[in-house]
Chain A
Amino acid sequence: MDMLNIALPKGRLGEKVYDMFESAGFGCPSIREPGRKLIFENEETGVRYFWAKPSDVAIYVERGAADIGVAGKDILLEYSPDVYELLDLNIGKCRMAVAAPAGFRDDRRKTLKVATKFTNIASNYYNSLGRDIDIVHLNGSIEIAPILGLTDVIVDIVETGATLRENNLEVIETIVPISARLIANKSGFRFKSESIEKLVNKLSEKAEIRQ
């Protein structure tokens, strides 16, 4: 039997996803053993799991190293991988938002300076508003950019808003809600459709998942 290759995002979200997959009949007990191993197989259930950096899951799936995987909607919007987006797993929920120092006023006569890790999402959003922007691509600690005067606003993922509050920033606009999505390779989906659809159907039975 052909193994179903599944890329999971390393970390808490990935562990939660694995629990869901296990209860859908796609278990692989060795994954719970402590250690630094990254690839796990269970011939009985026909699955091979591997832990990948969350932002890389879509690449593994698009390039066919994984048949399916779980990636955040933020990554799918940012990189537009050529994959199927089969399910909204409704976990890892947060939102992509614009945040600015409290009391910020957007002066439309000036180019808006935006700090973000998500260059494409930010430029698509401001393009849709017809707003001229200057993007400063940062890889982390985005919150400090407006505090230090590097940019006017930031575009970033907001979960609880605690980091923003502690840095005297506030959400001024929500761009899009984010959650974890089940994605599939377009070719792999055809040759392993039986097991992929079995997983999709089992996961859909859970009330919290929107198919």
Chain B
Amino acid sequence: MKTSDNIRSEEQIISALRKLYESMGYSQFKMIKFEEYDFYVRNKDYLPSENIITFNDTNGKLMALKPDVTLSIIKNSPDRPDELNRVYYNENVYRVSKGTHNFKEIMQVGLECLGDIDSYVISEVLTLAVESLEMISDDCQLSISDLAVTAAAVDRASVKPGIKKEILRCIGEKSRHQLLEICEKENIDKSTSGLLCALATLHGKPGEVFDSLDNLLPGSAEVARLRKTVSALGKDVSDKIEIDFSFVDNINYYDGIVFKGFVKGIPNSVISGGQYNRLMEKMGKKSEAIGFAVYIDELERMFSGSSDYDTDTVVLYSKNTDIALLSEKIAALRSSGKRVSVMKKIPDKYVYGEIINLAGGEEK
């Protein structure tokens, strides 16, 4: 178990996540590095951005460095709706960074289940998402929503698609005042506007949220389904879960249950996932699907500054130093868990915890 003082490095997390997924029968999906550009253009609605790195391969075909993993997995996996195909991946994707507007290589680890997705499979994926978060830090939370609940509420408003999009944006911003403004302008009835405002602001432990939902959406099949899924989770997992309906981005991509994972101290979500049956259908597949990605690049912030020193111990030596003594000293320091740098001269601005000087032949 990790606390903020005891955080694993990125590499340790990647390796721990792989072990976690393998322990549940997920096999690694090794991806080809490039796809035909045309493939992404056809599916651009499902990509986070239309900016893709392209190049011509040796026979003149326009190729692309993959901006997304899920599309490739769907395309290259067999479509067997009666079976369940569990895969995980550990791949780089190439996307434009929002801040710099330059392309960035982003390491993603994640998993996908394709085929026959039932309540058990959904609860397995949610459990693995929570366990993935716990690999990073104990101060974590998985926020779950169901886009079917949100869509049913928004459909009650009977407004044009453009206005629906605006309503979804306001729910995504937890912005009650903006929703009320739209409802007033569009003459949306009081009970619907109350429901939309509640969905925007409602969040918390499943028990509390479901109590409120029973009043807001009595007899809703979508709410009943979400309740069934969440109540199937073990106690350890439930403790890290909250229900929140403000996840409405990627609505082209996801439908049904969606979730985001947060870790204290990291400003963005580190896990994002959900059911994407509509995407499967659009890609001509009969299988259903659910999955999530862990954004390893978001974790960088937690690791930076984790050490005040370039090394724990500098061992200075010279041509007069007895190499056997030097090796013995280094081995002892390393076995005590220290990071050791052996050098003849300390570079400028090099920061170290302690120094052992063997330059004179003996320890000083």
Contact = CB atoms under 8 A, between A and B. Distances in A.
Given A84-B173, A85-B175, A86-B175, A190 B143 contact: yes
B125 to A, nearest CB: 20
Contact of B267 (A64, A84, A87, A210): A64
Contact of B269 (A63, A187, A211): A187
Nearest to A128: B162
A62 B267 contact: yes
A86 B267 contact: no
B246 A84 contact: yes
Interface string A74-108: 00000000111111100000000000000000000
Residue among A88, A185, A187 facing the most chain B CB atoms (10 A cut-off) = A187
A186 interface: yes
Nearest to B244: A190
Nearest to A200: B201
Nearest to A82: B268
Given A84-B246, A190-B262, A191-B262, A185 B173 contact: no
B180 interface: yes
A193 interface: yes
Nearest to B203: A193
Contact of B175 (A62, A82, A84, A185): A84
Nearest to A66: B267
Given A63-B267, A186-B269, A190-B141, A85 B242 contact: no
A210 B177 contact: yes
Interface string B157-180: 000000000000000011111101
Q: Is the interface of A mostly helix, strand, loop or mixed?
A: mixed
Interface in B117-168: 139, 141, 143
A191 B177 CA distance: 23
Given A187-B262, A191-B262, A210-B180, A84 B174 contact: yes
B174 A191 contact: no
A188 interface: yes
Interface residues of A, number: 21
Given A190-B141, A190-B242, A191-B262, A85 B174 contact: yes
Nearest to A84: B174
Contacts of A84: 173-175, 246
Contacts of A87: 177
Contacts of A185: 267
A152 B70 CA distance: 48
Nearest to B260: A186
A186 B180 contact: no
Residue among B174, B263, B265 facing the most chain A CB atoms (10 A cut-off) = B174
A84 B203 CA distance: 13
B174 A187 contact: no
B266 A187 contact: yes
B201 to A, nearest CB: 8
Contact of A187 (B178, B180, B268): B268
A88 B267 contact: no
Interface of B: 139, 141, 143, 173-178, 180, 203, 242, 246, 262-269
6 contacts: A82-B268, A86-B176, A185-B267, A186-B267, A188-B267, A191-B264
Interface of A: 62-64, 82-88, 184-191, 193, 210-211
A-B CB proximity, top 7 nearest: A64-B267, A88-B177, A84-B174, A85-B175, A210-B177, A85-B173, A187-B262
Given A86-B174, A210-B177, 19 more contacts: A62-B267, A83-B173, A85-B173, A85-B174, A87-B177, A185-B267, A186-B262, A187-B263, A187-B264, A187-B266, A187-B268, A187-B269, A190-B141, A190-B242, A190-B262, A191-B264, A210-B180, A211-B176, A211-B177
